[in-house]
Amino acid sequence: MTGRADGEPLLLIQGLGADRRGWAFQRFALSRRYRVYLVDNRGAGGSDKPAGPYDLEEMAEEALAVLDAEGIDSAHVMGASMGGVLAQILAVRHAERVRSLVLACTASRHHRWRRDLLAEWADLAERRGMRALAPSAVKWLVGPRHHRRFHLPFRVLSSFVLNVPAHAFAAQARAILAFPDDIRELLREVAVPTMVIVGTQDILTPLADSEELCELIPHAELHVIHGAAHGLMVEHAGTFNDRVLGFLERASAATADAPEVLTA
């Protein structure tokens, strides 16, 4: 946990292969106003890295267990990429625990081309290791113009990819592939303030995926960052942080009078 002891709780969940360091450019900005909980998913960072298979429903429950351990009844939840899917699961399975929802660079369903890509990544990681996978994987995370002009985002995101063991990365990727699309219809029941944010250069979860999320989730806000790719919270951290903080401020005001329910 980091941030203000009297701030509203904010749970951050990262994506495939990433750990809490994926929020390095958000941690300070968000902790000035919120009590921030950064989760390492199963297989990443300081969490256990068992052999597969992994399951996204179980991983969402593990993120919720962090709030349980801290005695937190409800929190704002922000997830990126795979973490955005985990956040969606929390919003539909444990609606009373979610104050607001931020879905960054994520989607609500599979596409054949993305299934093929994730399967290829999982196989490559297991056969040749993460160093063989990193160069091609990171190209999907950083926009081409930003990569040519600034090498920092490329280096930062490469370090995230290289930090996860190959077996754990493959197990996370296959958990995404195994997750069914039927959660989509349940998103129509999400009643909390929701922000969907994406970059115009995101080729892994393109703008159309975010537009679809906004069509499914009632009253969801769509925020598009021009020139940003899948790693938008690193590439365009300042803009990303400003958009998220503005949304959370509005969401906090909208839910200030909502009753809190403690779930055992």
pLDDT of residue 208: 98
* Structural domains of the chain, ranges and CATH numbers in brackets: 2-255 (3.40.50.1820)
Question: Tell me: the pLDDT tens digits for 3-18?
Answer: 999 999 999 999 999 9
pLDDT of residue 162: 64
**For the residues 94-107, what does the mean pLDDT come to?**
98
More confident of the two residues 106 and 146:
106
Question: Tell me: the pLDDT tens digits for 209-226?
Answer: 999 999 999 999 999 999
pLDDT of residue 258: 52
> Looking at the predicted structure, is the pLDDT value of residue 263 above 70?
no
Cα-based angle 125, 127, 129 (whole degrees, multiple of 5) = 45
> Looking at the predicted structure, is the pLDDT value of residue 156 above 60?
no
Average pLDDT, the chain: 91
Joined together, the tokens standing for residue 43 give 């297989």
**For the residues 157-185, what does the mean pLDDT come to?**
86
Q: Residue 243: phi, psi to the nearest 5? A: -65, -45
CA dist., res. 95 & res. 107, Å (int): 19
More confident of the two residues 258 and 87:
87
**For the residues 232-253, what does the mean pLDDT come to?**
96
Percentage, residues of the chain above pLDDT 70 = 89
Joined together, the tokens standing for residue 146 give 């930003």
pLDDT of residue 15: 96
pLDDT of residue 150: 42
Outline where DSSP puts E strands in the chain: 2-3, 8-13, 34-39, 75-80, 98-104, 194-199, 221-225
> Looking at the predicted structure, is the pLDDT value of residue 191 above 60?
yes
**For the residues 192-207, what does the mean pLDDT come to?**
97
> Looking at the predicted structure, is the pLDDT value of residue 190 above 90?
yes
pLDDT of residue 139: 84
Residue 160: which pLDDT band, with cuts at 50, 70 and 90? low
pLDDT of residue 261: 41
- pTM higher than 0.85, yes or no? yes
Question: Tell me: the pLDDT tens digits for 116-149?
Answer: 999 999 999 999 999 899 888 888 888 655 444 4
Question: Tell me: the pLDDT tens digits for 27-46?
Answer: 999 999 999 999 999 999 99
CA dist., res. 209 & res. 13, Å (int): 19
CB crowding 189-216: b at 16 or more within 10 Å, else e: ebebbbbbbbbebbebbbeebbebbbeb
**For the residues 64-91, what does the mean pLDDT come to?**
98
